[in-house]
Structure 1
Amino acid sequence: MQVVNWLPRTELPFAAPSRPELLETLEPVEALEPSGEEAAAPVALVKPAAEVAARPVERVKIEVPRPSATVKPTVVTGDAPAPVPKTPVVPPPRFALQLLRAGRCLLLVELPTGERFQARDPAYLLLKDMLRAAGLPDSPQIVGEPVRWPLLARGTMDQGPDAARDFVQGFVSARLEDEPCASLWLIGLPAVRFAGEANAEAWYRELQVEGLGSVWALPGLELLMEEPQRKADVWQAMRRLMARWKSTDE
């Protein structure tokens, strides 16, 4: 009710006497004007809470290092052992060889198809012509089963080139012990490589192989059919060696 002072209309019994200063009319309070220094001072404004909440808050960006495409060199300390380079795995060679006997000669021949010779095979007919030209029986005798490599389709046994060489040489050496021969023909690159320890550069030449004796290196029958001009080189080399397997009474 905005009552500042209250005075009774009549004197109240047992009431304390009124104080004269309270009966005086109070002067109206004028608005105090700010002084020059107060007017010049900035007034801090308080923003509403809604406006503060609506203001976006800037997020601090965190830089995440990305992996570089450049390969960093591996630093090998004195304590850590140096990495051991892996030995490349050499796949086993694949070939099929047949051992034949014609007179005083043994023939280790590459099978072009991987299967036994048939009577009408072009490669076998060419072999018969070569034997007749050499003065040997043209119906050679088959000695043992064909040597096919690799021996096993699976397994942990070493079937690399060195193992193939040892197997082929061991197989032929065992047949030579059963019946020696005057000359061993190696026909085809697998026969020359794994029995004669040579390559195509040794074709038409006679070689000495430990455990096998004298061997004659020749191209494969299939190659001779594809390149007939090689037959002349075979014939020239054959004429030089023919006396080795021909009997003295012929």
Structure 2
Amino acid sequence: MLIESRRRAYLNAMQVVHWLPRTELPFAAPSRPELLLPLAPEVLPEFDAPQVEPARVAVNAPVARSGERPKIEIPRPGSTAKAASKPVEEAEAAPVVARPVAVPPPRFALQLLRAGSCLLLVELATGQPFQSRDPSYLLLKDMLRAAGLPDSPQIVGEPVRWPLLVRGNLDQGPQAATDFVQGFIQARLEEAPCVCLWLIGLPAVRFAGEADAEAYYRELPVEGLGTAWALPGLELLMDEPQRKADVWQAMRRLMARWKPSDE
């Protein structure tokens, strides 16, 4: 009979790691219980399926008797398919984050003029500076005469055209346009203040007065610019002459701001 040390030497020489005797060997060391159970078969995962870990064997598992086969639990294919479908369901249920839509820069041209103690920010509908015989410029001269102001306003600086750049990554959205227009007017007010700022045309009302068409004919307190008067554009007044009556009524209420009294 072989003693235990020699038996293990023979097994190591034959590269036998685990072995199980058919009968109880004399003088043999007691076997470890976990070595008596066969390993669970390896389950090949499907595509993109998570690996299924084999069931762990308890250390204190009962020793299998000779002639009895231990029961092995094999994962069912259905459970693997359910596990594989969970990541897909979670991916489908994840909320889709919408990308912010890029707002195109506004397009307008404004001209600043000075008439007496008032500044006029006027929309250039065609984008070109006023000409002496333009119908819109002649209408502006009539409005200034009715208001008691000089009918030959002085041009202050170059027209403000937006967007500033055709290309580039510079922010040229509505808020940037508002900051630029208001900063341009504030710089002119530091040179020579005014008693009332006329905002003629929707771009002037929107980007200088931060208002919309509902503010026409009304006074607007604008921070940093003082009191502004919102008016429709000259082209709109020519297309809709009935608006001139509303301009005249509002002008009569505000005329005391820039026209000194005779007293």
Query: Do Structure 1 and Structure 2 share a fold, with TM-score over 0.5?
Result: yes
How large is the Cα RMSD of the aligned pairs?
1.8
In percent, how many aligned pairs have the same letter? 79
Q: Letter of the aligned partner of 2:181 in structure 1?
A: V
* 1:238 matches 2:251: yes
SS at match of 1:130: helix
CA contact (8 A) 1:76 1:82 kept: no
CA distance in 2, matches of 1:167, 1:86: 27
For residues 133-172 of structure 1, what are the structure 2 equivalents within 5 Å?
Answer: 133-172=146-185
CA distance in 2, matches of 1:224, 1:114: 18
Q: Which consecutive unaligned segments of at least 5 residues does structure 1 have?
A: 1-73
CA contact (8 A) 1:102 1:136 kept: yes
SS at match of 1:163: helix
Instruction: Give how far 1:163 is off.
Output: 0.5
The structure-2 alpha-carbon separation of the partners of 1:76 and 1:131, relative to structure 1 and needing over 3 Å to count, comes to: farther
* 1:184 matches 2:208: no
SS at match of 2:125: coil
More helix by share: 2
The runs of at least 4 consecutive aligned structure 1 residues that moved more than 6 Å come to: none
Task: Report what 1:22 is aligned to.
Answer: none
Task: Report what 2:64 is aligned to.
Answer: none
Task: Report what 2:129 is aligned to.
Answer: 116
Task: Tell me the TM-score normalised to structure 2 length.
Answer: 0.64
Task: Tell me the TM-score normalised to structure 1 length.
Answer: 0.68
For residues 23-78 of structure 1, the C-alpha deviation after alignment (integer angstroms, 9 at most, x for no partner) is xxxxxxxxxxxxxxxxxxxxxxxxxxxxxxxxxxxxxxxxxxxxxxxxxxx8445x
CA contact (8 A) 1:151 1:159 kept: yes
The structure-2 alpha-carbon separation of the partners of 1:75 and 1:198, relative to structure 1 and needing over 3 Å to count, comes to: farther
CA distance in 2, matches of 1:169, 1:127: 22
SS at match of 1:144: coil
| Structure with max Cα Rg | 1
Number of paired residues?
176
The structure-2 alpha-carbon separation of the partners of 1:164 and 1:75, relative to structure 1 and needing over 3 Å to count, comes to: farther
Instruction: Give how far 1:118 is off.
Output: 0.2
